Structure 1
Amino acid sequence: ERIIPMSYPPAQKLGDHLKLARTRNEIRVLDLAAGSGIWGIALAQKSPRVRVTAVDWAGMIPTTKRITRKFGVADRFQFIEGDLLEANFGIGYNIATLGHILHSEGEERSRQLIKKTFRAVKPGGTIAIAEWLVNDDRTEPTHSLMFAVQMLVNTERGDTFSFKEIKGWLEEARFKRVRKLEAPGPSPLILATKP
């Protein structure tokens, strides 16, 4: 829940950028490592046509459910418990969000997760990644470097990554149009489209 104030504004910006309020069709969102559910919640608030599948560990899902009820969008959420690489979350999503998860997964699992997400998103769909980005030389910004130290100490394989690294993983998975979207928070969002 502590991450809500950091994640809610960029998630709202994402919903505005994708013009969800104007949609006439159902929009299926895959919220990976949903945690509080705030990425899916912010997108669901933009349109009653948004339906969210939230994926996270079984121990986290009760918290996600509680917070979606608090925000009044629980009726548009479904929940899948399990490891991100093992859970079957299906296909046909318009949007997939990976909100501050790659840094705890490490490079190899992050690359696998992006490839799995590519299969889950329908053609024309968007993947949105929020991360603590570092520059290519790994010398700045300071807040992202300090976060990298936290990941080194507190996770088995966590780290922070550069836009160039994540862009390479997205392109390796066959996503196109990899770009940055300036948004509130520690770093811009990274967006890419499935052709």
Structure 2
Amino acid sequence: MSSTQVVHEEISPASLVDAMFAFRKTAAMKAAIEFDLFTKFGGQARTAKMLASDLDCAERGVRILCDFLVVSGFLTKSGESYALTPSSQAFLDRRSPAYMGAAIDFLASPQMMSLFLENPAAFVRNGGSVGLANVAPDNPIWVKFARAMGSFTGPSAKALASDVATWPKLPSKVLDIAAGPGAFGIEIAKVAPSARVVAIDWKPVLAVTEENATKAGVAERFNFRPGSAFEVDWGSGYDLILLPNFLHHFDREGCVTLLKKARASLVPEGRVAVVEFVPNEDRVSPEFPAAFAMVMLATTPNGDAYTGRELAEMAKSAGFRVVATKPLSPSPASLIFLE
């Protein structure tokens, strides 16, 4: 573009107003999921009156909620009838195997909302949360995470397991750090029938991990070690160590400490699988990984969304020689194998 060219941009307060009113979408989604509104459609168009009867709600309330969900792109409207969009059918109808509605219980929990909205200027000024926030020992928020976010992390876990399933030699001893709902360890156990999995997390969280492993029929191959990943003895001899959605909670020094501990716990040919939201070097793209840094600013003292270069530097500092990164479709996360 020459210096004489001018980029014409529409001047509008629309984006500003949308940002200031963003809590409307969270509230509408929270209400709709609590009422199981999207499931009530049953794959058919419904009027507000019909839905109100099913939900035992005021028709006016349901009409306004549904109109707002149309405006927000979650429903369509024809005359007086509403219907699900294809995405809402896939991710918000409880009967769908891809259902993700339960995530609202964690993402819009009182603790998370308080960390973001009570005093956002404080975490910006401080360069991170004031206090330990979500990385406080035995924080009960992670029990809520484990119960609510299994469907959210499930696609990433399945994608990682699909990659592992192609290895010429499947892992026989696996370590799942910050296991949470257990999705990653469980999916690996499914594709590697002889693998035994050690899961580390806070004790109340591991109760949820065990519940999910039992439902998946693999609990007898799990061993549970409660405590902080920084303090618990991980043991040794692992073919595969899972570090999903964990490094972003800590500063560079903390990440290198964890990666050194991982390297010391591996067999010589073992690998570490890191799952992270990885922004480009410009830190403003792709949208979700770039925006995720704001989550870490609000909810941790020193966490961040690290670029691929930063993650590679940490891995090399911890003694890893090979760092291979690939997209973890269909999620916005990336998979980084360390050897």
* Greater share of residues in strand: 1
In structure 2, the residue matched to 1:6 is 152
In structure 2, the residue matched to 1:49 is 194
Match of 2:307 among 141, 162, 169: 162
Alignment partners' CA distance in 1, 2:226 and 2:218: 19
What's the CA shift for 1:181?
2.6
In structure 2, the residue matched to 1:58 is 203
Q: Please, what TM-score do these two structures have when normalized by structure 1?
A: 0.91
In structure 2, the residue matched to 1:125 is 270
In structure 1, the residue matched to 2:338 is 192
| Distance change in 2, residues 1:21/1:191 (3 Å) | closer
Alignment partners' CA distance in 1, 2:167 and 2:279: 33
CA contact (8 A) 1:100 1:130 kept: yes
Alignment partners' CA distance in 1, 2:165 and 2:216: 21
CA contact (8 A) 1:91 1:119 kept: yes
- CA deviations 1:62-99 (Å, max 9, x no partner) are 11111111111100100111111110011100000111
Letter in 2 for 1:2: A
Alignment partners' CA distance in 2, 1:147 and 1:68: 29
In structure 1, the residue matched to 2:296 is 151
Mind listing any 5+ residue stretches in structure 1 that lack a counterpart? none
What's the CA shift for 1:192?
1.4
- CA deviations 1:75-127 (Å, max 9, x no partner) are 01001111111100111000001110111123221111011001011111110
* Greater share of residues in helix: 2
| Distance change in 2, residues 1:171/1:13 (3 Å) | same
| Distance change in 2, residues 1:108/1:26 (3 Å) | closer
In structure 2, the residue matched to 1:16 is 162
RMSD across aligned positions (CA): 1.8
What's the CA shift for 1:12?
2.5
- CA deviations 1:14-46 (Å, max 9, x no partner) are 2332336875x7611110011111110000011
Alignment partners' CA distance in 2, 1:72 and 1:47: 13
CA contact (8 A) 2:171 2:192 kept: no
Match of 1:87 among 222, 229, 232: 232
Alignment partners' CA distance in 2, 1:69 and 1:18: 22
The higher-RCO structure (CA 8 Å, 6+ apart) is 1
What's the CA shift for 1:5?
2.7
CA contact (8 A) 2:171 2:239 kept: no
SS in 2 for 1:12: helix
Alignment partners' CA distance in 1, 2:171 and 2:305: 34
Q: Please, what TM-score do these two structures have when normalized by structure 2?
A: 0.54
**Percent identity of the aligned residues?**
32
In structure 2, the residue matched to 1:113 is 258
SS in 1 for 2:312: helix
| Distance change in 2, residues 1:21/1:172 (3 Å) | closer
What's the CA shift for 1:9?
2.6
CA contact (8 A) 1:7 1:99 kept: no
In structure 2, the residue matched to 1:35 is 180
Mind listing any 5+ residue stretches in structure 2 that lack a counterpart? 1-146
